[in-house]
Amino acid sequence: MASDFTVFLGEMMRRPNEVRAIAPSSAAVARKMTEGVERTTGPVVEIGPGTGSFTRAILDRGVAPDRLTLVELNPRFCEELRRKFPGVTVFNCPAQEIEKLGLTDISMVISGVPVLAQPQVQRDVVGRAFNVMAPDGVFVQITYSANAPIPVQTQAEMGITARKRGTIWANLPPARVFEFRRKVQ
């Protein structure tokens, strides 16, 4: 059985357009990304789980496997995720297809999908996720930029706001975690 890092490195070399991080996320990032998930009651979706560092943290926080859905583009990662996390639903499809999964009232989306400087991806991934999220749902995003990965103007167009959860220096490279919520009317 290959280690997470070995699987990650192999897929990064085989599919560089799909695997954009330079290493799996650290446990410290996983803890920051999953803060508050234990207080949710609806479905939880992780998009771009890769080798599952956030997945493990979600489950460790007490989310039942049958409440967790993973959406991963890479077939090898999907195989590993199904093996490591029995009872969790794993879809091998792009995050842009979240509306087609039959989920509604999603409490939290935890995203490892790179959306920085990709306006169409921001709308297709984040926008579509909000279409199937509960009114008080939270979208959590990792980025390696100092600023929110979705510009303020795009946030306004999408009817969402950003809040920085924190910077995690114990990661390669250092990561920032932002959460997005619907604007309060």
State which residues form the domain around 160. 4-182
Strands (E) in the chain, as ranges, are 44-47, 68-72, 89-92, 106-111, 133-143, 160-168, 175-182
What pLDDT digit, counting tens, does each position of 20-63 carry? 554 567 899 999 999 999 999 999 999 999 999 999 999 999 99
What are the helix (H) ranges across 2-151? 4-14, 27-33, 53-60, 75-84, 119-121, 128-131
- CA 96, 115, 53, 15 torsion-angle sign: positive
Q: How many structural domains compose the chain? A: 1
Mean pLDDT, residues 70-98? 96
Q: How far apart are the first and last CA of the chain?
A: 51
Return d(Cα 131, Cα 12) in angstroms, integer. 31
Return d(Cα 52, Cα 49) in angstroms, integer. 5
From residue 122, how far is each of 21, 23, 31, 152 by CA, in Å? 18, 23, 24, 12
Nearest Cα residue to 108 out of 169, 45, 174 = 45
CATH code, domain carrying 88: 3.40.50.150
Which of the 8 DSSP states describes residue 20? -
Query: For residue 3, what are the contacts with CB-CB under 8 A and spacing of at least 6?
Result: none
Return d(Cα 163, Cα 161) in angstroms, integer. 7
How far from the centroid of its chain's Cα atoms is residue 66's Cα?
Answer: 17
- Residue 4 banded pLDDT, cuts 50, 70, 90: low
- Residue 9 banded pLDDT, cuts 50, 70, 90: very low
The residue ranking higher by pLDDT, 170 or 35, is 35
How far from the centroid of its chain's Cα atoms is residue 154's Cα?
Answer: 19
pTM greater than 0.85? yes
What pLDDT digit, counting tens, does each position of 89-99 carry? 999 999 999 99
